[in-house]
Chain A
Amino acid sequence: GQSLEQPSEVTAVEGAIVQINCTYQTSGFYGLSWYQQHDGGAPTFLSYNALDGLEETGRFSSFLSRSDSYGYLLLQELQMKDSASYFCAGEGSSASKIIFGSGTRLSIRP
């Protein structure tokens, strides 16, 4: 089967750095995406890693290691507006093309 595992909750302090991990088990894995979802809102695309290594987009970076079936999202200079749920998603070659993790709820403290 295919699955992606994330911590359910993470708490961090405003201005700090936080890392949200994602481990996956998928067949025919193509890449790992990250989405942000605020309460009551729709998921918003953050980043995509097709190859091993680090992708940087402003305050957000994402990392993938295919050999370890592992990735993470790194958020720097945390702001209160970053409080949201973060999902990793894997694109596989099976009938279930896009599999989402269960999400990590990030809470930011002043």
Chain B
Amino acid sequence: ETGVTQSPTHLIKTRGQQVTLRCSSQSGHNTVSWYQQALGQGPQFIFQYYREEENGRGNFPPRFSGLQFPNYSSELNVNALELDDSALYLCASSAPGTSDTQYFGPGTRLTVL
């Protein structure tokens, strides 16, 4: 059974640029959630996708957008990057009906200069 994977592991961008982060869910999981984690803080919920539809969104501006594909892999897109977007971005997948139990990927460390 393959766990949750994310790419890239590290990324450096400049302010104003756009970035796409990718996530492959654990086998059999049709729900994926994205989180932003600043240093020393808990993960902040960005949004969740279920069967290719957004299924809940946290307090993030529209420049944070996402996609989920038929194979349940997912993308997080961030436009017009700001310095405060520098963080660890985590995706987590969960099996049908078990969003309380999430399996996290290793994360993508994004640095915005």
Contact flag A91-B58 (CB < 8 Å), given A42-B90, A103-B42: no
Q: B38 to nearest A CB, angstroms? A: 10
CB–CB B56/A45 < 8 A: no
Which size class do A's interface residues fall under? 20 to 34
CB–CB A33/B100 < 8 A: yes
Which size class do B's interface residues fall under? 20 to 34
Q: A22 to nearest B CB, angstroms? A: 11
CB–CB B106/A95 < 8 A: no
- Chain B residues contacting A89 (CB-CB under 8 Å) are 42
Q: B25 to nearest A CB, angstroms? A: 14
Contact flag A95-B100 (CB < 8 Å), given A87-B42, A102-B41: no
The answer to the question of A50 belonging to the interface, with a C-beta cut-off of 8 Å to chain B, is yes
The answer to the question of B48 belonging to the interface, with a C-beta cut-off of 8 Å to chain A, is yes
Contact flag A48-B101 (CB < 8 Å), given A43-B90, A96-B57, A96-B59: yes
- Nearest B residue to A87, CB-CB: B42
The distance in angstroms between the C-alpha atoms of A95 and B106, with both chains bound, is 25
CB–CB B45/A42 < 8 A: no
The answer to the question of A10 belonging to the interface, with a C-beta cut-off of 8 Å to chain B, is no
- Chain B residues contacting A30 (CB-CB under 8 Å) are 100
The distance in angstroms between the C-alpha atoms of A60 and B35, with both chains bound, is 25
Contact flag A96-B107 (CB < 8 Å), given A31-B100, A43-B90, A50-B100: no
Interface residues of A (CB under 8 A from B): 30-31, 33, 35, 41-45, 48, 50, 87, 89, 91, 95-103
Interface residues of B (CB under 8 A from A): 33, 35, 40-45, 48, 55-59, 90, 92, 99-107
